[in-house]
Amino acid sequence: MKTLKLRRLAAAFSTILVLSFSAGCYSLMFGPGVLERDMARTAAGIDRIAQMNLDTQKIVETRLKTVEAKQQADSALLASNLASIGEQIRALQETLDQTRHEVQEIRLRTTGEAPDRLPIVVGQGDTASTVILEGQQILLQGEQALQRKDYQAARGSFQEYVKRFPTSPRAAEAQIRIGESYVREGKLPEAVAALQVVEQLYVNSPLVPEALMKIASCQEQLGQAQQAIATLKRLVSQHQRWEKIEAAQEMLRRLDRLEPQVPPTASP
């Protein structure tokens, strides 16, 4: 063990002598201060390389941020275009529904057909026959599906009625039942959208205040107190003779008490 230690010490001492001798030789060969100058140059070169690495890294990061910003801008533009296309589709759908509504009114005035009875030709040629499509049967199918909690089938029936009989006095009722199917399914935003159609398309229907009351209830459950208050104020001001107006007034008072009041802005 002692011999091994002595050997290691001897090897280390030899290494130190070699390094010292090399440094001394370098100084003797190139003159005093040359070694220090070359080491300083080497250190400066290393510093330049490190700075170049930092500069390169900054350039790469800047370009990455530019690419990310461009991608975000492209995504925002795509979303805007999709939203615009969606608005155009909805506008076209409203135009189509309005045209269908006008056609039904013309048919009613010229032929005297009942608004919820529609003649349909079945078969072709000599075997063709005309049957009367009863709107009442479509509504009944929707109610039965609603009772068995088949909400999609229920909506299908009510939507079919609204599509085929837009001038019927019961079209507003079918539209309300569409909203009710969404309420029972727990899809409150969809329910609000469906019920708002009643106020927009069936302005003179006596069912408009009922639709507004249901809209306010959905908005309250969604945490949209301000929207619910606005809906109830519209209901109370425009449908004062509604048989359930007191319930609407009480709900409006309750929401007014719960909603924090914003202090008026002081005039300059």
pLDDT of 137 higher than 80: yes
Give per-residue pLDDT as tens, 147-194: 999 999 999 999 999 998 888 888 999 999 999 999 999 999 999 999
Give per-residue pLDDT as tens, 207-243: 999 999 999 999 999 999 999 999 999 999 999 999 9
Residue 189 covered by a domain: yes
pLDDT for the residue numbered 112: 43
Q: Are residues 234 and 157 both part of a single domain?
A: yes
CB 255 within 8 A of CB 264: no
Mean pLDDT of 81-103: 57
Higher pLDDT, 186 or 258: 186
Q: How many domains does the chain have?
A: 2
Q: Are residues 69 and 154 both part of a single domain?
A: no
Binning pLDDT at 50, 70 and 90, where does residue 107 land? very low
From the list 171, 170, 167, 187, the residue with the least C-alpha distance to 179 is 187
Tokens of residue 124, six digits: 């072709």
Higher pLDDT, 158 or 89: 158
Mean pLDDT of 82-97: 59
Q: Are residues 139 and 252 both part of a single domain?
A: yes
- Give the SS3 label for residue 208: helix
Considering the chain, what is the average pLDDT of its residues?
76
Binning pLDDT at 50, 70 and 90, where does residue 101 land? very low
Query: Rounded to the nearest 5°, which phi and psi values hold at 129?
Result: -145, 160
Residue 268 covered by a domain: no
Q: What is the CATH number of the domain that holds 247?
A: 1.25.40.10
The whole domain housing 142 covers 134-258
pLDDT of 119 higher than 60: no
- pTM for the full predicted model: 0.52
Neighbours of 175 (CB within 10 A): 27
Higher pLDDT, 123 or 255: 255
Q: Are residues 163 and 106 both part of a single domain?
A: no
**CA distances in angstroms from 210 to 80, 231, 243, 244, listed in the order given:** 35, 12, 10, 9
Hey, which residues does 120 pair with through a beta bridge? 131
Type and span of the H or E element at 72: helix 34-111
Q: Are residues 77 and 161 both part of a single domain?
A: no
